[in-house]
Amino acid sequence: MNKLERIEQSLNPRSIAIIGASSSPERVGYNILESIVKGGFKGEIFPVNPQYKEILGLKVYASIREIKKPVDLAVIVLNQFASVEMLKECGEVGVKGAVVIAGGYKEMGPDGKALQDQLAAAAKAHGMVLIGPNTLGLINTRANLNATFYPDEFKKSAISFISQSGAYGCSFIYKLWDHGIGINKWIGVGNQAVLGVPDILEYYEHDETTKLIGIFFEGTDDIQGFCDAAKRIVPKKPIIVVKAGKSELAKYSALTHTGTDAGSDEGWQEIFKQTGVLGASSANDMAIACKTLSIAPLPRGENLFILTHTAGPSIMATEVAMAMGCSMPPLAEKTKDRIAQIIGNVPVILKNPVDVAAGGFAHDKFGHLADVILQDEATGLLLACYQYHTIWGCPSQAIIEAKQKNGKPIIMCLISTYEAFLKEKDLLQENGVPLFQTPEEAATAAVYLINYYRFKSRSAEMI
């Protein structure tokens, strides 16, 4: 098996050993076992701990040697010293994939670095792929596998993550959940002793169920590997990155967190520009980007038009779009005429953003207006903004029809509470229209689509 096949086997194991399994709910060795069991994993589960006979109804083995069946993935939940010895033992019995949860390695300074080197050497000596150390674990929703110590539920999607932080990586999942979107795979690379961000990127490149990749990282020793992988992947699958280490204090925190040199922010910005990797500056921005790029079609050009019946939010969406370098050309005369015909004598001045005031409350009119703007060849994509009303609701169906008819993206902003958002999200999002509650979020979504479109067009022009 080559490296990618070993990663594939570790993410789709036929059997898992949890070494250091515990029966105490306040211990990580219990929590991971519980996550795997509750997550609905269909393969064999082997808890390992000489102190127990049974946990959660499962037979517990005294050692990895006692299992005497093939183990595809070993999750090691022991302290930093015992984990090194256990990894060797796993290698000796033929385990090819392991996760080491403990911290206390490179992030602690020279002694920890030496310990991590032993860990890496043991993995390499036995041809094992190792995830971590200093990690929350891994998730593969396609295999109903949650090997982290957070027993959460997951919806499925085509979005896969790489994270150097457990909790911050989880915040991507949680915010996406709030946005109504699931995940595909999630790998906490931690200190990257053996498998680093570039390795997982290469795996996701070839993983057919992954259509989009989100990354939180503090840094990598293999910048060239990252750039090479990103250059190959971005034209096929968008990569969105939150990169920590802008401020000196954050850089020092990264060093003491995962032993990572964060590098210069300017250098990373240049790498993003050259590779087409899209930057995100918050967990919510990451969720907005992932949701939008995974469900909306690509724009048919970079010109953004905004349609609304209520000017204020369209002005704030314009502010965000302009600040982020969008192109928002004026309305063509013929399109202005068509809009005027639809709205009648409502007193408004037509421009882009297109505010039709009371001329746009009715669903059929709002949908008709969206259709007319999308029909204009100048339009690359549309941001449609509507205020939710208990009587008028949201013109979801009309918006979906306009989008399907024209094959161009619509980003929907529904000024509303989260409760109202929940009522509309499934219909819209299942039909490829990302829904947001605020104009700033909707404009941010539009900017991600435009920036990915720009990069794709630019790379298509190159020979």
Binding region for a copy of itself (CB under 8 A) out of 193-201, 295-303, 305-313, 396-404: 305-313
Write the interaction track for a copy of itself spanning residues 440-459; mark x where CB under 8 A is met and - where it is not: xx------------------
3-state secondary structure of 39: coil
- Residue 328 as a binder of a copy of itself (CB under 8 A): the answer is yes
171 vs 429 by CB, closer to a copy of itself: 171
Could you count the other beta carbons within 10 Å of the beta carbon of residue 334? 11
- Residue 156 as a binder of a copy of itself (CB under 8 A): the answer is no
Task: Using CB under 8 A, pick the residue from 64, 415, 435, 447 that binds a copy of itself.
Answer: 415
Least distance to a copy of itself from the beta carbon of 265, Å? 10
82 vs 93 by CB, closer to a copy of itself: 82
For residues 64-103, which are near a copy of itself according to CB under 8 A?
80, 103
Name the token pair of 223.
Answer: 């910048």
Task: Using CB under 8 A, pick the residue from 69, 155, 206, 389 that binds a copy of itself.
Answer: 389
281 vs 459 by CB, closer to a copy of itself: 281
- Residue 313 as a binder of a copy of itself (CB under 8 A): the answer is yes
Nearest to 155 by CA among 291, 13, 278, 8: 291
Least distance to a copy of itself from the beta carbon of 105, Å? 8
Q: Could you give the CA distance from residue 115 to residue 360 in angstroms, rounded to a whole number?
A: 66
Task: Using CB under 8 A, pick the residue from 156, 167, 261, 264 that binds a copy of itself.
Answer: 167
217 vs 453 by CB, closer to a copy of itself: 217
Write the interaction track for a copy of itself spanning residues 223-262; mark x where CB under 8 A is met and - where it is not: -------------------x-x-xxxxx-xxx-xxx----
Angle 380-400-349 from CA coordinates, rounded to 5°: 55
- Residue 137 as a binder of a copy of itself (CB under 8 A): the answer is no
Task: Using CB under 8 A, pick the residue from 49, 171, 191, 275 that binds a copy of itself.
Answer: 171
Task: Using CB under 8 A, pick the residue from 351, 405, 407, 459 that binds a copy of itself.
Answer: 351
Number of residues near a copy of itself (by CB under 8 A): 86
- How far are the Cα atoms of 130, 163, 304, 317, 418 from residue 314, in angstroms, in the given order? 49, 35, 12, 5, 20
Q: Could you give the CA distance from residue 21 to residue 1 in angstroms, rounded to a whole number?
A: 28
Task: Using CB under 8 A, pick the residue from 50, 390, 461, 463 that binds a copy of itself.
Answer: 390
Nearest to 74 by CA among 66, 58, 86: 86
Task: Using CB under 8 A, pick the residue from 9, 15, 56, 174 that binds a copy of itself.
Answer: 174
- Residue 142 as a binder of a copy of itself (CB under 8 A): the answer is no
Strand order in the sheet with 129-131: 44-48, 15-19, 73-76, 97-100, 129-131
Name the token pair of 246.
Answer: 């802008």
Is-cis flag, bond preceding 353, omega within 30?
yes
2 vs 390 by CB, closer to a copy of itself: 390
Q: Could you give the CA distance from residue 116 to residue 113 in angstroms, rounded to a whole number?
A: 5
User: Tokens 């589960």 appear where?
Assistant: 45
DSSP result, 367-383: HHHHHHHHHSTT-SEEE
Residue type, 412: M
104 vs 432 by CB, closer to a copy of itself: 104
Measured N-to-C along each axis, helices 265-275 and 223-233 cross at an angle, to the nearest 10 degrees, of 30
Residues 6+ apart with CB under 8 A from 293: 212, 238, 240, 448, 449, 452
- Residue 424 as a binder of a copy of itself (CB under 8 A): the answer is no
- Residue 332 as a binder of a copy of itself (CB under 8 A): the answer is no
- Residue 340 as a binder of a copy of itself (CB under 8 A): the answer is no
- Residue 175 as a binder of a copy of itself (CB under 8 A): the answer is yes
Q: Are 374 and 381 in contact (CB under 8 A)?
A: no
- Residue 52 as a binder of a copy of itself (CB under 8 A): the answer is no
User: Tokens 């570039």 appear where?
Assistant: 198
